[in-house]
């Protein structure tokens, strides 16, 4: 643990030398113990290396290629190679390069907001400009991209496509409806069901699966499906943050903070963010009941949906089981979760081809994988990596610390409620991609555990999207379905559901994460 103490003290002291009696931390001339002995290093570079070690905990050193963990140092090479890299970074961290990076990043963000359908290409062009201009070293591009996150997303999307094609979700909805006495409880049941499915399936895919059931019920009862679909959309957004595979932002957090599937449920002996989300979902049930309090009509279920192929269901369950199992494997490669998701998807795809004796399943599965989102994320990893390389992330982190007044609760509150407001108007994927390194930098400067801030970011960013019709892709998908069916969706229709739903869920998660993790 000497190495961890050294890093923490180095960061708190701002790189200043300390008395020799504090040899277990840092001695005169800034001697730093990183396992295996003390070594003299430059104070400023030492502090930078310590912060870099924090960011790369559990990961491979991006220069030496060696693997390390702060609590289990076997070598000092990663410290020295980070110091050499910091010296080489001086040109990248010049004021002119920082200003150029900030301006281009701001332009990129504005264009992504103004041109939502062109976001992947805007981010890609920005990433290319950063590399060509020298702001992002070409050698760092490959390591800046989190391939584990991309493989997890692609594999999960493919498996979910096969799961939807099997019609198992419709069958599950049929079984659920058989247990509901009237429309009010149908709304509650469908919303809860959407949340459960969304914990393992993409939010938009969840809405697309359950929307036909809601539309069918509304037509039978001659009622408007607007409120029903909005409840389904906001419920799917809420529960997406519950597990590692439930939402793109969860996968991004898992990759950045090295959290596995079980860490989203229990971590360090504490209940994790899964329970914050579930409590938030629980307190929103009365909102749904109040909205549909006057709907007392009985529901009749038609012929049950027939599921002819259970293999995709086994694949989805197998993905979850293997992700949980992998979390117990010590020293596993960082790309393990991505390989699990992609391998099971390929197994299902090959089986489907052999079963149907044609290549139609390939066309279907590839058509269901959102390659634009994958391209967007890949480009954003490079863009955010450039902000880190040029020191902009450190400057932003320092600004947040200054605004928070070194108060952890104040900083936590700013991150949660600021994320709610921002995510209500812009997509949370680029926002979370930008804020993850900022939050890590804030935690490093304040000398606190980053997880309470990570969870606050995820709660605010995912639930904030429920505040407005344009705040999340699932909301846009639900509104698009309604408009296609000829129903007009007013902003007031969405806000009267989204606002109380969001405020209750966020407040619950906000208090839970603080009292459990602070």
pLDDT for the residue 92 = 56
Residue 329 in domain: yes
Query: What's the domain range around 11?
Result: 2-91
Cα separation, 182 vs 46, in Å, equals: 66
Residue 499 in domain: yes
The four Cα atoms 264, 269, 271, 272 give a dihedral, to 10 degrees, of -30
Cα separation, 70 vs 376, in Å, equals: 32
Residue 450 has pLDDT above 50, yes or no: yes
Pairing type for strands 26-27 and 266-267 reads unpaired
Residues 337 and 470 in one domain: yes
Cα separation, 379 vs 477, in Å, equals: 24
Residues 266 and 219 in one domain: yes
Residue 285 in domain: yes
Residues 388 and 420 in one domain: yes
pLDDT for the residue 77 = 42
Cα separation, 60 vs 54, in Å, equals: 12
Residues 50 and 197 in one domain: no
Averaged pLDDT score across all residues of the chain: 77
The string of pLDDT tens digits covering residues 326-372 is: 877 777 787 888 899 899 999 999 999 998 888 888 888 888 787 88
Contact at 8 Å (CB) between 390 and 93? yes
Give whichever of 115-124, 327-336, 398-407 has the largest mean pLDDT.
115-124
Residues 228 and 185 in one domain: yes
Residues 367 and 428 in one domain: yes
Residues 479 and 391 in one domain: yes
Cα separation, 49 vs 452, in Å, equals: 23
Poorest-pLDDT segment among 39-53, 217-231, 421-435, 457-471: 39-53
The string of pLDDT tens digits covering residues 168-190 is: 877 877 777 777 878 888 888 88
Residue 278 in domain: yes
Residue 204 has pLDDT above 90, yes or no: no
Residues 6+ apart with CB under 8 A from 209: 164, 169, 170, 197, 201
Residues 170 and 244 in one domain: yes
Q: What is the mean pLDDT of residues 66-95?
A: 46
pLDDT for the residue 56 = 41
Q: What is the mean pLDDT of residues 196-214?
A: 78
Residue 501 in domain: yes
Residues 55 and 152 in one domain: no
Cα separation, 153 vs 149, in Å, equals: 6
Residue 141 in domain: no
Residues 87 and 124 in one domain: no
Contact at 8 Å (CB) between 365 and 205? no
The CB-side HSE value for 57 (13 A sphere, CA atoms) comes to: 16
Residue 437 in domain: yes
pLDDT for the residue 12 = 42
pLDDT for the residue 5 = 39
Residues 439 and 481 in one domain: yes
Cα separation, 71 vs 259, in Å, equals: 17
Contact at 8 Å (CB) between 428 and 113? no
User: Token match 């693997």: residue?
Assistant: 67
Residues 440 and 385 in one domain: yes
pLDDT for the residue 301 = 65
pLDDT for the residue 43 = 43
Indicate the number of domains in the chain: 3
Residue 142 in domain: no
């Amino acid at each position: 643990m000497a190495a961890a103490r050294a890093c923490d003290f180095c960061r708190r002291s701002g790189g200043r030398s300390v008395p020799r009696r504090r040899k277990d931390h840092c001695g005169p001339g800034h001697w730093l113990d990183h396992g295996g002995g003390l070594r003299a290093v430059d104070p400023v570079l030492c502090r930078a290396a310590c912060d870099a070690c924090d960011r790369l905990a559990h990961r491979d050193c991006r220069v030496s290629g060696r693997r390390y963990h702060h609590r289990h140092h076997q070598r000092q090479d990663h410290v020295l190679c980070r110091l050499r890299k910091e010296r080489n970074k001086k040109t990248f961290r010049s004021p002119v390069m920082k200003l150029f990076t900030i301006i281009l990043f701001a332009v990129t963000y504005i264009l992504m907001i103004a041109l939502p359908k062109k976001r992947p290409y805007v981010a890609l062009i920005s990433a290319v400009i950063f590399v060509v201009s020298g702001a992002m070293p070409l050698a760092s591009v490959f390591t800046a991209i989190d391939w584990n996150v991309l493989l997890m997303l692609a594999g999960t999307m493919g498996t979910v496509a096969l799961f939807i094609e099997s019609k198992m979700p419709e069958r599950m909805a049929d079984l659920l409806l058989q247990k509901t006495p009237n429309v009010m409880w149908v709304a509650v049941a469908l919303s809860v069901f959407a949340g459960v499915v969304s914990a393992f399936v993409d939010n938009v895919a969840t809405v697309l699966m359950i929307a036909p059931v809601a539309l069918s019920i509304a037509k039978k009862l001659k009622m408007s499906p607007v409120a029903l679909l909005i409840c389904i959309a906001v419920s799917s957004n809420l529960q997406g943050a519950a597990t590692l595979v439930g939402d793109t932002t969860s996968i991004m957090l898992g990759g950045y903070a090295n959290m596995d599937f079980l860490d989203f449920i229990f971590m360090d002996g504490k209940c994790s963010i899964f329970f914050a989300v579930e409590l938030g979902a629980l307190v929103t049930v009365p909102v749904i009941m109040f909205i549909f309090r006057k709907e007392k009509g009985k529901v009749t279920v038609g012929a049950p949906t027939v599921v002819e192929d259970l293999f995709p269901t086994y694949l989805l369950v197998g993905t979850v089981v293997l992700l949980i199992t992998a979390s117990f494997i010590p020293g596993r490669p960082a790309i393990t979760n991505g390989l699990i998701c992609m391998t099971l998807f390929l197994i299902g795809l090959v089986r489907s081809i052999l079963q149907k004796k044609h290549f139609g399943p390939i066309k279907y599965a590839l058509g269901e994988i959102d390659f634009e989102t994958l391209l967007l994320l890949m480009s954003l990893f490079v863009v955010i990596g450039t902000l880190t390389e040029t020191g902009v992330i450190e400057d932003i982190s320092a600004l947040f610390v200054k605004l928070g007044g070194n108060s952890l609760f104040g900083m936590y509150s700013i991150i949660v409620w600021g994320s709610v407001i921002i995510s209500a108007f812009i997509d949370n994927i680029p926002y979370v991609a930008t804020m993850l390194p900022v939050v890590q930098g804030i935690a490093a400067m304040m000398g606190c555990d980053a997880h309470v801030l990570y969870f606050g970011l995820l709660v605010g960013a995912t639930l904030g999207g429920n505040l407005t019709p344009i705040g999340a892709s699932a909301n846009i998908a639900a509104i698009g379905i309604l408009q296609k069916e000829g129903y007009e969706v007013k902003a007031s229709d969405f806000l009267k559901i989204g606002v109380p739903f969001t405020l209750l869920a966020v407040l619950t998660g906000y208090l839970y994460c603080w009292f459990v993790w602070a």
